[in-house]
Amino acid sequence: MNLDIISIGDELLIGQTLNTNAYWMSKALNGIGFTIRQQTTIADTEEVIIDTLKNALSHSDVVLITGGLGPTNDDLTMPALNKLFGGDLVRDEKVYQHIEKLVTNRGFSMNENNQKQAIVPENCKVIHNANGTAPGLWFDAEGKVVVAMPGVPYEMKAMVIEEVIPRLKAQFDLPEIINQMVYTQGIPESILAEQIADWENELPTSIKLAYLPSPGRVKLRLSSTGKNRLLLQQAIDHQIEKLKKIIPNAIYSAENEDLASTLGGLLLKSGATIATAESCTGGYIAHLITRVAGSSAYYKGSILSYANEIKVNELGVKQEDLNVYGAVSEQVVAQMALGVQQKMKTDYAIATSGIAGPTGGSDEKPVGTVWIALATPEGVISEKYIFGKQREVNIERAAITALGMLFRVVKK
């Protein structure tokens, strides 16, 4: 069952408004069994709306439209739909009474624009908008469905949940769709693909695999479609168990994307505590950890040692090592980790020092060079990474990589 999403609005095309509606609808409708064929963003122009809708209907069973249902002259979705499906525009008394109640309850009187919003195509089913004045419009077109909704996110979401999804479930025999994620850290996408190539080639044809890389992580999505959800899930779970034996140290979860949260669960279970000493990551690791509710049970705190004097005075880094090796070095980052571990009396400590960029690099230490150290009860583990040229990406990758290092140690 294919579904198209059409987002209407010049503000979306020129970047003034982020199109969160299409993202949300895709997730919601795929969750009930639709395959999202295409998302399209178009201008609020009658000809474009009609042409785009015709094309969508030639490929999909259902088309969802948001935007352009307001009362002003630049809102052209209603006349375009009426022109495409024919019939007259008529006043819907229930819609009029609803709008009148909303407007008067807010201390205003009905004007011409408010009254215009009660005018709807006579050959559509009206979808009640409990949160606004623009009604939704449902058209049945030769076994296919077109639904137009307001672009205001909370109005659209309420319509989809309360009206659209129940009606679609009643009208169509929808399959079960499972999109199961496996979250990995520590292996780049190209190397990961090489390591699991045999497993991937042996996947049953009913299961499709997709690689979804992000800074410091690679998500593996296993997708399957059928009638029996239990059997689909069992088949996917079986493949995940096989995958865990191939890359046991790379997988941190098949349920939770948040690495800091998964790590926190392990720390709670083991009763261990952690602290952080950050230079190039600027407190981002601390942010990721403390974003997790209940992290105070295992996280003691951080020393943001951006300046060298803080490394020396607060973490006990030797000035001579800074002079000889520089701040971005194994010697310094190891001392940072040990210093904060001892100062905060924790089981583990993470430290980072690097060149986030875009300036500050050298031939010996190019932009993107990051040293990460992990102080454990058994000693210190230090690793050097060379990430890239983009500052924000380097910070995120360094933070995720540091959490991944700690996760693997605590897991053992």
What integer pLDDT is reported at residue 182 of this predicted model? 98
pLDDT digits (tens, 9 = 90+) for 244-296: 999 999 999 999 999 999 999 999 999 999 999 999 999 999 999 999 999 99
User: Are the C-beta atoms of 339 and 328 separated by less than 8 Å?
Assistant: no
Query: Does residue 321 contact residue 330 with C-beta atoms inside 8 Å?
Result: no
Q: Which two tokens stand for residue 344?
A: 């905060």
For 66, 163, 249, the CA distances from 130, given in Å and listed in that order, are 16, 11, 50
Domains and CATH numbers, the chain: 2-171 (3.40.980.10), 176-253 (3.30.70.2860), 259-411 (3.90.950.20)
pLDDT for res 62: 98
Q: How far is it between the farthest Cα atoms of the chain?
A: 85
Q: pLDDT tens across 9-28, in order?
A: 999 999 999 999 999 999 99
Sequence-distant contacts of 192-200: CB under 8 A, at least 24 apart: 192/218, 192/247, 192/250, 195/246, 195/247, 196/243, 196/246, 196/247, 199/239, 199/242, 199/243, 199/246
pLDDT of residue 68: 87
Residue 89 has what pLDDT?
Answer: 87
HSE toward the beta carbon, residue 144, CA cutoff 13 A? 19
Per-residue pLDDT, 235: 98
Backbone torsion region of residue 109, taken as left when φ is above 0, otherwise alpha when ψ lies between -120 and 50, otherwise beta:
beta
Are residues 89 and 57 in contact, defined by beta-carbon separation less than 8 angstroms? no
Upstream peptide bond of 358 is cis (omega within 30 degrees of 0):
yes
Residues of the chain with pLDDT under 70: none
Long-range contacts of 138-146 (CB under 8 A, 24+ apart): 138/164, 138/167, 139/81, 139/85, 141/57, 141/85, 143/61, 144/57, 144/60, 144/61, 144/62, 144/63, 145/61, 145/62, 145/63, 145/171, 146/53, 146/57, 146/62, 146/63, 146/65, 146/81, 146/85
- What is the rounded distance in angstroms from the CA atom of residue 226 to the CA atom of residue 181? 18
pLDDT of residue 148: 96
- Bridge-based pairing state of the strands 2-8 and 62-66: parallel
Q: What is the DSSP letter of 348?
A: E
Whole-prediction pTM value? 0.84
CB count, 10 Å around CB of 81? 24
Residue 37, classed as helix, strand or coil, is strand
CB 144 within 8 A of CB 61: yes
The answer to whether 212 and 221 have CB atoms below 8 angstroms apart is: yes
Give which of 332, 306, 337, 338 is closest to 320, Cα–Cα: 332
Supply 176's token pair: 């079960």
